[in-house]
Chains A and B, each alone.
Chain A
Amino acid sequence: MTLAEKLIARAAGRDAVRAGEIVTARVDLAMIHDSGGPRRVEPILKRLGVGLWDRDRVVLISDHYVPGDDPDGAAILGLTRDWARRHGVTFHDGQGICHVVLPERGHVAPGMFITGGDSHSPTGGAFGAYMFGIGATEMAGVLATGEIWVRVPETIALDWQGRLPRGVLAKDMILAMCGRLGMDGGRYQAIEYTGPAVRALGMQERMTLSNMAAELGAQAGLIAPDAVTADYVRAAGGDPGDWARWQGDAGAPVAERHTFDASTLAPQVAAPHSPANAGDVGDQAGQGLDVVYIGACTGAKHADLAAAAEILRGKRLAKGIRLMVAPASRRDQDRAAAEGIMGVFEDAGATILPNACGICAGYGGARLGADIRCLSTTARNFKGRMGDASSRVWLSSPYTAAASAIEGRIADPRPHLEGR
């Protein structure tokens, strides 16, 4: 069996499953947030006249309407907090973006089957868990029954040989994959990222790959767990269990295999309005910018902040550039502050925004205005997503974002790293 088949077979209580079968799986954990969570599921649970199937298997995280500085958002947060109290679920309030907070608090471990009420839920696949996103009605069904149907996916192997050169990050890898496979290349099947260049990544970089399995149109974005995974899970207070068993069998049927060479990868930039418009940074270099945004679960974790600061240290923003930094979690921001990384952003003249989804999801007061040109470390640059329909968004790594903030236009980060 493939890794995906093994994970689903375990959750379905079966010895074996194969791609194409529809099975009912028991859910180990359901993650919900303030947007698709309580305000949407509670009316359904009420109508069904049932409570939670198991409150110890539900984690609620507020991130979309944080900090709640408008009346509608504040009301949604109030409802969310009240629901958490009444149902007695684990609640991380204002601690950061759900996809980063869930693993950092030890909730994710290899072998688990997890549903998340958000499309970037494949992030959990970085830990060797089968995690995928569902909508609010389907989540209400999970909360009521603890079960969900799933069609056992085929596996698409995305294999990275070689070693990433200096100046190139996981974000560049995933943008390159979006460029090659397109936004439906994943066909709602399971992606498995493999190869030495994937193994060489730390957990937060792996999370960037799995997170953007969503942009490849896959259901899940798996990485088989190893000692790096187990160490992270233990340090977060979780239990990695018998992690070594969660590997696909040699010779298990793989529907597609695509091979990439990490050693020749250049920094990538995706032009408006699709992550699939990715290409080498040279193709977009010189494009003028108004805003650089370092934010989101896929672009402002501790590893992303550290990368951006490596280039920004001791530098000032180009004239006319506004740099906004929204660290993905409180914990990552605290760690970055202790290491002097937040000070680098402040010294450079950046605006620091709350630990929340913010404008990546089109929420909050910092949304892009008419005709604004923005380079962003986020996952999606769909038309109008981050603000006005006339704004344009390019996507890049935090290295490229930092270099571009200094130059005032899209810039190759590699010269900025020389001697650093």
Chain B
Amino acid sequence: MGRISGRIWKLGDDVDTDALAPGRFMHRPMAELAANCLIDLSPDFAANARPGDLIVAGRNFGMGSSREQAAQALKDRGLQGVVAESFAGIFYRNAINLGLPVFVGRASDLPDGAEATLDAGAAVLRHAGGAVALEPLPDFLLALIRDGGLVPHLEKRLAKEGR
């Protein structure tokens, strides 16, 4: 984490899980769902987001359903992560459980399309003009993301317990 650079996709407040993982693609394979991530809200993102890109959004990112395909789609698109002023609780938990870095911070001054690097360990968003400090994650959540999400984390734990 922290060496990749990509473009910022700026989104507004209240980006919902139906926009991230539209219901009409929920029964389809994950690759198809990910390809249609944000298709109604930002067709440009759906068509052109590349691995290493990241999302900068306003308040309450990921509001709505508990469908974790909303976070999985962003992870599968290879995003570095999401920086938002606040997150909806279930989405936030899902993202961490899937190993998608999510940070609370105000980066709305950065323009859409700007290049940036998310340094999860340091909780900083670096860009050409400087750096934005983000709210650090508690250690155990950072450890979850570093392990790649809850499943690899549990694998480690179960192995330790000899199960």
How distant is A199 from chain B, measured CB to nearest CB, in Å?
A: 28
A149 to B157, CA, bound (A): 15
B90 touches A135 (CB 8 A): yes
Per the 8 Å Cβ criterion, residues 185-235 of A in contact with B are 188, 217, 219
With an 8 A cutoff between CB atoms, is B5 at the interface?
Answer: no
Q: How many residues of A contact B (CB 8 A)?
A: 46
A362 touches B23 (CB 8 A): yes
Chain A residues positioned under 8 Å from B94 (CB to CB): 134-135, 137-138
With an 8 A cutoff between CB atoms, is B97 at the interface?
Answer: yes
Chain A residues positioned under 8 Å from B154 (CB to CB): 48, 141, 144-145
A134 touches B138 (CB 8 A): no
Majority secondary structure, A binding face: loop
A138 touches B93 (CB 8 A): yes
How distant is B121 from chain A, measured CB to nearest CB, in Å?
A: 20
- A117-B19 CB under 8 A given contacts A50-B158, A274-B14: no
B24 touches A362 (CB 8 A): yes
A72 to B19, CA, bound (A): 21
Question: Whose C-beta in chain A lies nearest to the C-beta of B95?
Answer: A135
Question: Whose C-beta in chain B lies nearest to the C-beta of A39?
Answer: B27
Question: Whose C-beta in chain A lies nearest to the C-beta of B16?
Answer: A382
- A48-B68 CB under 8 A given contacts A135-B94, A217-B88: no
Q: How many residues of B contact A (CB 8 A)?
A: 40
A385 to B140, CA, bound (A): 35
Number of A-B pairs whose CB atoms are under 8 Å?
A: 122
Chain A residues positioned under 8 Å from B108 (CB to CB): none
Contact for B23 among A76, A184, A188, A363, CB less than 8 A: A363
The stretch of B49-57, B58-66, B112-120, B128-136 in contact with A is B58-66
With an 8 A cutoff between CB atoms, is A118 at the interface?
Answer: yes
B93 touches A362 (CB 8 A): no
Most buried by A among B89, B149, B151, B163: B89
With an 8 A cutoff between CB atoms, is B22 at the interface?
Answer: yes
A44 to B98, CA, bound (A): 12
Per the 8 Å Cβ criterion, residues 21-36 of A in contact with B are 22, 35-36
B89 touches A382 (CB 8 A): no
B88 touches A135 (CB 8 A): no
**A32-54 Cβ-contact flags toward B at 8 Å (1 or 0):** 00011000100010011110000
Question: Whose C-beta in chain A lies nearest to the C-beta of B138?
Answer: A22
With an 8 A cutoff between CB atoms, is B1 at the interface?
Answer: no
A141 touches B63 (CB 8 A): no
Chain A residues positioned under 8 Å from B127 (CB to CB): none
A35 to B150, CA, bound (A): 20
Contact for B163 among A47, A50, A73, A389, CB less than 8 A: A50
With an 8 A cutoff between CB atoms, is B26 at the interface?
Answer: yes
With an 8 A cutoff between CB atoms, is B146 at the interface?
Answer: no
Contact for A362 among B26, B66, B163, CB less than 8 A: B26
Contact for B60 among A137, A144, A184, CB less than 8 A: A184
Chain B residues positioned under 8 Å from A389 (CB to CB): 40
With an 8 A cutoff between CB atoms, is B28 at the interface?
Answer: yes
- A137-B68 CB under 8 A given contacts A47-B151, A219-B89: yes
Most buried by A among B23, B27, B28, B94: B23
With an 8 A cutoff between CB atoms, is B41 at the interface?
Answer: yes
A361 touches B23 (CB 8 A): yes
A418 to B120, CA, bound (A): 61
With an 8 A cutoff between CB atoms, is A183 at the interface?
Answer: yes
How distant is A353 from chain B, measured CB to nearest CB, in Å?
A: 16
Per the 8 Å Cβ criterion, residues 70-111 of B in contact with A are 71, 86, 88-90, 92-94, 97-98
Given contacts A22-B140, A36-B68, A73-B27, 20 further A-B contacts (CB under 8 A): A40-B68, A65-B27, A119-B67, A133-B66, A134-B66, A134-B90, A135-B66, A135-B67, A141-B150, A149-B140, A188-B89, A217-B88, A362-B26, A367-B24, A380-B64, A382-B16, A383-B40, A383-B41, A384-B23, A385-B16
Q: Which residues of A contact B (CB under 8 A)?
A: 22, 35-36, 40, 44, 47-50, 65, 70, 72-73, 76, 117-119, 121, 133-138, 140-141, 144-145, 149, 183-184, 188, 217, 219, 274, 361-363, 367, 380, 382-385, 387, 389
Sample 18 A-B pairs with CB under 8 A, ordered by A number: A36-B66, A40-B68, A48-B154, A72-B28, A119-B64, A133-B66, A134-B66, A135-B66, A135-B67, A135-B90, A137-B97, A183-B14, A183-B60, A184-B59, A217-B89, A362-B22, A363-B27, A385-B16
Q: Which residues of B contact A (CB under 8 A)?
A: 14, 16-19, 22-24, 26-28, 40-41, 59-60, 63-68, 71, 86, 88-90, 92-94, 97-98, 138, 140, 149-151, 154-155, 158, 163
